Amino acid sequence: MSAGPTMPSLLLDQGNWDLCLDANGSIAVARPPYSTAQSVSCAIRTVLGECYYDTTLGIPYFGNILGKNPPLTYVISQMEAAALSVPAVVSATCTISSVEGRAVTGQVEFTDSDGSTQTVAFG
């Protein structure tokens, strides 16, 4: 379990998951509690080995999930562990809402060290 300060981060556009600008033309900044939710969403999207500065971060999508048909409990545990890797997240619960073919959708509900509970969707 990771506990730490909730920090601001660069704001990502929800449509294309890229940096966006604020009203002044500067790179926009996300502040808590949204920045924590954005960080959880990034953590559950990160593929193991993808981050060159820390290849231990991420979910083993290619090694253990995609094309492997693992038990849903495994996928759930990986999503929860990824959410818990975010500083300030103290608890996380993943719920799978649908499995259709190769598409899995659901959400991760998490609580941060300030006691705020939020949900991020995936799928």
CB 14 within 8 A of CB 38: no
User: Alpha-carbon distance 27 to 19, whole Å?
Assistant: 7
**pTM exceeds 0.85, yes or no:** yes
DSSP state of 62: I
% the chain with pLDDT above 90: 84
CB 38 within 8 A of CB 8: no
Q: Given this model, what pLDDT does residue 2 score? A: 46
Q: What is the pLDDT of residues 53-67, one digit of tens each?
A: 999 999 999 999 998
* Domains in the chain, CATH or no CATH each: 9-122 (3.10.450.40)
Three-class SS state of 82: helix
pLDDT tens for each residue of the chain, 123 residues long:
444 566 789 999 988 989 999 999 999 999 999 999 999 999 999 999 999 999 999 999 999 999 898 999 999 999 999 999 999 999 999 999 999 988 899 999 999 999 999 999 998
Please give the mean pLDDT across all residues of the chain.
92
CB 65 within 8 A of CB 77: no
